[in-house]
Structure formats: C-alpha cells, structure tokens
C-alpha cells in the first residue's frame, strides 16, 4: 500500500505506474482515493472545530453561571448539545470514510522500481544471467512422478483417494531426500547469519491483509470456517506478521529470519492444479527467508537474497538462471522481483523454483511496523522475502539433473550427512 501523500501530491505518477502494470481498470481508483481523502480531511477538520468549540462553550457556561446569567447559560448548553450531536455524526462519517479509503488504497499497486522491465505478463520477463551449464543426457528422462515411483517414493493414487488432486504421499528414500533438502537449506541459511524460526501455520485476517494483495488472498488462502484464521500460503506471511504494530529500534536492523513451514494454497486461476505431478499442489513444505531493513539497504539485500538461492542450487549441481519479472507480472505489493529457475533436462527448459521480492514499505505500512531512528524519528522499514527451497520442485530438479543412465540418482555431496551417508538412490 502506497502513502496517501503520494496520491495527493503526485497523482499522475501513481496513474503512470498503474499503466506500466497494465491495470488501466484501476485508474479510476486514484480519483476515488483523492475524493475520499479530501472528504475525510474536511470531516476531521469540522469535528476538530466542534471539539474546540465545546471547550470554549464549557468555559463560557461556567462564567455565565457565576454571573447569574442562567438563561444565557442554558442557551449555550443547547449549543453544546447540538455540537455534540453533530460531532457524533461526524465521528461515524470519519470511520466510514476511513474504511472506504483503506479499501481503495489496498487496490492501488505499489510504485515499481525504475529498473523493472515493462511488459504485460510473464512472457515479457527477462533472463539476466545463467549459472551452470544446462545439459541434456542422451537417454530418456521419465516424468518426475514416474521417476519417484521407480524408488517407491510417491503414491499419488492413495493421496487422491484420501484428499483429492493436488496432494501426495512421499515414501522411503524420496521422503528422506525431501527432508534432507530442507535440513540442508536450514543450515545453509543459518550459516548466512539468519535466525531459524518455526512460525505459526495459521494467521489472523488482518495479518493476511497486511502481507498480500486482495487478489492473491482470494486465489490462494484457505479460511478456517467459523474463525478469524487462515492457513498460511508461505511462512513469509507469519514471519512478517510477527512484527505487526511493533516499533523496532534502528540498531535492531536488519531482522533476518529463515523459517520452515508447510504451505497451503488453493491454486486457483490460470495455472490450476496438476492432475499428475508435484509441481503445483495444494500442500507442500518450504524453507523461506525474510529481511526487514532500512530503506536505503533494501536493494543490497535483494541482490544478496537471490544470490543465496543461486549458491544453494549450484551446491547441488543444479543449473539455474535469474529471470527478472516484468511490471505486469509483479504482484501489487512488489517493488521489484525475480525468479530463480532450475534447468529441467526432461523438458529442455528452465522452471521456477524460487521467487525473490522487494516490497518496499508496503507491508510495513499495512502492518504498522515502524523503526525508531537514532534521532528519535519514526520511519517505515522495507521488507523482502525469498524462497530458500521448496522441496517438491527442488526434488524434480534434483532427480532430473542427477539421474544416471542406469536409472540410479547421484545424491549431491552436500546432502550426504543428511542422508545418513547414502550417496545414491537405486
């Protein structure tokens, strides 16, 4: 959510940003926000004037009573009663206008960074750099679930009977490899100076509203019936939410957390759920990283965070590339974002495994996270998040890139300690 002062003072900048995101249907929201803000401030001013008048009248009544001017005092009391009634009406109006303005502001996208490429959708995303040499072996690579089935490592049929599409059972060595990847990712981030965290897996609605756009909320989040609780779609939600309504001292920055959690997603929309495979599913596990920092440091952290993902994947012999997200592919809260994509030898193309985002001060403004500077002044921090690893997709990349012609899979050396010394799957 952007600062209302930006809309008041430079509405054309906000409109141009909306056009760059190819969301022209949202252009009327700028005028609506200006109207509601002006009306809200006028109502507040009138209410403040009435409060000042009440104080003046109260003193006047006391003076008139001391002078024995009862009739004049009663007439002034009547003015106070009328003013109180009007003030009560204005306070209700203030609340209504604040609610309506907040609703409009939630829909206006954040101002994107000037470096973001302009384009309508993910087809305009830009490859920036490749890491590792993508290779295609001279033998056939099965579909990833078929590959897992060779090791008796997955049961999609049983999961379908129990839960439906978008779920799976992982078994045996494949399940162990899944946990090994998570454990390795945890230790990898701890070594980078991040604090390991296991967060709540359910959060209140005001936290959901604070960390994500309304569109994403409707298409992703599962609501707990009868309660103000949602299952998290990623642990970023509860980790950023940890700081809601908090004032942090500047010397406590940056806050660096890495967290494990299950993730639950409806996956509505264009992509939908696969009937086979574990690429897009309703439930998965993930290691995440978040940073809360000073505004002037956020782009440096953005650069560091996506490079952590590259380093992690390359340590497991998986070729990757960085893909810069264009304006039309950015969620409304994001200032800048990139995907890290892993090479799929079977598909002969890259696919998304990590997403790194700088959200500026949008989440901090929504959640009222503030920093007290050395000079005593308050300001909003910037928040960033990035996937460390999401094993269902990681498993696809790991198995395909480490498959041998004889059907065995080489386990990357960094995972051996987490696999009890096992160096290959057969």
Which domains does the chain show, CATH number per domain?
4-107 (1.10.287.40), 122-425 (3.30.930.10)
256 contacts 301 by C-beta, under 8 angstroms: no
Hey, what are 395's tokens? 């498993």
* Residue closest to 361 by CA, chosen among 370, 372, 349, 348: 370
Q: What span, in angstroms and rounded, lies between the C-alpha atoms of 231 and 199?
A: 12
* Residue closest to 189 by CA, chosen among 286, 238, 256, 262: 256
pLDDT tens sequence across 234-260: 999 999 999 999 999 999 999 999 999
* Residue closest to 338 by CA, chosen among 189, 129, 181: 129
DSSP H or E run through 258: strand 255-264
Greater confidence, 75 or 321?
321
What pLDDT score does 65 carry? 67
209 contacts 106 by C-beta, under 8 angstroms: yes
* Residue closest to 210 by CA, chosen among 14, 84, 12, 366: 366
280 contacts 265 by C-beta, under 8 angstroms: no
From residue 173, give the alpha-carbon distance in Å to each of 142, 149, 153, 177: 18, 11, 6, 6
290 contacts 189 by C-beta, under 8 angstroms: no
**Bond preceding residue 254 cis, omega within 30 of 0:** yes
Q: Which residues does 171 contact at the CB level (< 8 Å), separation at least 6?
A: 152, 153, 154, 155
What pLDDT score does 58 carry? 64
- Report helix, strand or coil for 413: helix
pLDDT tens sequence across 170-207: 999 999 999 999 999 999 999 999 999 999 999 999 99
Q: What span, in angstroms and rounded, lies between the C-alpha atoms of 53 and 51?
A: 5
pLDDT band at 49 (very low <50, low <70, confident <90, very high): confident
pLDDT tens sequence across 74-125: 676 677 777 778 888 888 999 999 999 999 999 999 999 999 999 999 999 9
189 contacts 308 by C-beta, under 8 angstroms: yes
Sign of CA dihedral 384, 390, 396, 398: positive
pLDDT tens sequence across 22-38: 999 999 999 999 999 99
User: Which single residue is written with the structure tokens 């009391």?
Assistant: 77
């Amino acid at each position: 959510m952007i600062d209302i002062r930006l809309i008041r003072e430079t509405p054309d900048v906000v409109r141009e940003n909306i056009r760059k995101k190819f969301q022209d249907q949202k252009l009327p929201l700028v005028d609506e926000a200006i109207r509601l803000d002006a009306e809200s401030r006028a109502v507040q001013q009138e209410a403040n004037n009435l409060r000042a008048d009440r104080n003046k009248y109260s003193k006047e009544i006391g003076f008139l009573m001391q002078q024995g001017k009862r009739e004049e005092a009663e007439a002034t009391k009547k003015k106070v009663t009328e003013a109180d009634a009007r003030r009560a009406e204005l306070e209700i109006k203030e609340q209504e206008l604040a609610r309506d303005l907040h609703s409009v502001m939630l829909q206006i996208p954040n101002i994107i960074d000037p470096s973001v490429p302009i384009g309508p959708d993910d087809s305009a995303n830009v490859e920036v750099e490749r890491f590792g040499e993508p290779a295609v072996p001279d033998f056939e690579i099965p579909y990833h679930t078929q590959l897992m089935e060779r090791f008796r490592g997955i049961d999609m049929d049983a999961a379908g009977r129990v839960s439906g599409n978008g779920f799976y059972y992982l078994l045996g060595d494949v399940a162990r490899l899944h946990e090994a990847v998570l454990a390795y990712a945890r230790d990898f981030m701890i070594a980078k100076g991040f604090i390991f965290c296991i967060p709540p897996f359910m959060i209140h609605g005001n936290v959901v509203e604070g960390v994500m756009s309304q569109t994403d909320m409707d298409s992703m989040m599962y609501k707990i019936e009868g309660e103000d609780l949602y299952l998290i779609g990623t642990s970023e939600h509860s980790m950023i939410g940890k700081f809601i309504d908090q004032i942090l001292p500047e010397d406590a920055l940056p806050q660096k957390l890495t967290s494990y959690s299950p993730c639950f997603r409806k996956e509505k929309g264009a992509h939908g759920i696969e009937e086979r495979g574990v690429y897009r599913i309703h439930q998965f596990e993930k290691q995440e990283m978040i940073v809360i920092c000073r505004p002037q440091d956020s782009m440096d952290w953005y650069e560091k965070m996506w490079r952590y993902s590259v380093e992690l994947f390359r340590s497991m012999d998986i070729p990757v590339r960085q893909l810069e997200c264009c304006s039309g592919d950015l969620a409304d809260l994001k200032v800048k974002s990139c995907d890290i994509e892993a090479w799929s030898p079977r598909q002969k193309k890259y696919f998304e495994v990590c997403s790194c985002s700088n959200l500026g001060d949008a989440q901090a403004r929504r959640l009222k996270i503030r920093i007290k500077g050395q000079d005593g002044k308050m300001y909003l921090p910037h928040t960033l998040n990035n996937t460390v690893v999401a094993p269902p997709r990681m498993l696809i990349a790991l198995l395909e890139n480490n498959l041998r012609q004889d059907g065995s899979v080489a386990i990357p050396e960094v995972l051996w300690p987490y696999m009890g010394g096992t160096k290959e799957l057969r």
